[in-house]
């Protein structure tokens, strides 16, 4: 079965400003980085439905977000997070793309997928857009997965350099979803301490500024991946942020392309043991375009077992 690349040009039309790190050029960098890789099938991301969104975000929040979108210019939600004309469609494609990828995987039309979408999602809490994020796509995807018969447990792996506070807040009292995150600390948003364990389904793996390949691989090899193995999920979702890369301007970890290939291969091997190899990944952060292209390529090669 092929590995899917899910994308839509609507994701280019979210415009948080010329100097904002979450540029549409990020999507173009990822897609250029994937050129020449065999075994990929590119499909368009559909819109998420209101039903899919409101499993995570209250209807009042979602309606308010839509009415906040301006016809021109941009509106700030917080100092880092903006809505422009086109932002709602971009967010709908991002959440819808992951839900579609999961549908394809569960129906055995594909085994793995990478959703090349923006804006990112893992900081968005149920009633608060923040940290560049409007909707929490990976949480929406997890609920989509749990709606299938026989899909009773979902694991979310997050190796973005920032802690996914929104994803943790959504699932910390939800034992059928395990959330495991490696992230730099201290760093925005200030959550993700080891002591934050939910109902035993949250595992945070904070790393210190300057930590690189050895520390990154150690925490995942000794703690993160074994915890997921013990949880035995029916599907694995990845919040694939590449801003822990040594070139990224927003943080100070020293992760390299080879580490992203290594962790992705490890996740896929684990998925082969527990959930028929089913893995769906979605782009989160990554703000140096050259590093984003090369790290995303390494990630997809890992999905393909290369």
Give catalytic residue positions.
123
Q: Which of 254, 246, 155, 256 is nearest to 207 (CA)?
A: 254
The pairing of beta strand 177-184 with beta strand 112-115? unpaired
3-state DSSP of 25-76: HHHHHHHHHCCCCCCEEEEECCCCCHHHHCCCCCHHHHHHHHHHCCCCCEEE
């Amino acid at each position: 079965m092929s590995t899917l690349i899910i994308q839509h040009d609507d994701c280019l039309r979210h415009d948080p400003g010329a100097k904002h790190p979450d540029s549409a050029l990020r999507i173009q960098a990822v897609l250029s980085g994937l050129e020449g890789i065999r075994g990929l099938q590119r499909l368009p991301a559909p819109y998420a439905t209101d039903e899919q969104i409101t499993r995570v975000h209250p209807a009042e929040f979602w309606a308010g977000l839509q009415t906040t979108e301006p016809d021109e210019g941009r509106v700030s939600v917080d100092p880092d997070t903006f809505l422009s004309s086109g932002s709602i469609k971009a967010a709908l494609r991002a959440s819808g793309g992951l839900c579609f990828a999961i549908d394809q995987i569960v129906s055995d039309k594909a085994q793995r997928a990478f959703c090349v979408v923006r804006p990112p999602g893992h900081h968005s809490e149920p009633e608060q857009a923040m940290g560049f994020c409007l909707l929490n796509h990976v949480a929406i995807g997890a609920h989509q997965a749990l709606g299938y018969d026989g899909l009773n447990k979902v694991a979310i792996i997050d190796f973005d350099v920032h802690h996914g506070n929104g994803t943790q807040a959504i699932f910390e009292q939800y034992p059928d979803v395990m959330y495991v995150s490696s992230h730099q600390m201290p760093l925005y948003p200030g959550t993700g301490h080891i002591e934050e364990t939910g109902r035993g389904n949250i595992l945070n793996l904070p790393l210190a500024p300057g930590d690189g390949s050895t520390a990154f691989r150690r925490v995942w090899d000794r703690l993160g991946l074994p915890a997921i193995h013990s949880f035995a999920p029916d599907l694995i979702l990845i919040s694939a942020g590449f801003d822990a890369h040594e070139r990224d301007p927003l943080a100070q970890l020293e992760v390299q392309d080879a580490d992203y290939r290594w962790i992705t291969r490890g996740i896929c091997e684990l998925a082969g043991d527990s959930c028929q190899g089913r893995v769906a990944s979605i782009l989160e952060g990554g703000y140096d375009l050259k590093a984003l292209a090369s790290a995303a390529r390494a990630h997809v090669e890992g999905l393909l077992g290369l």
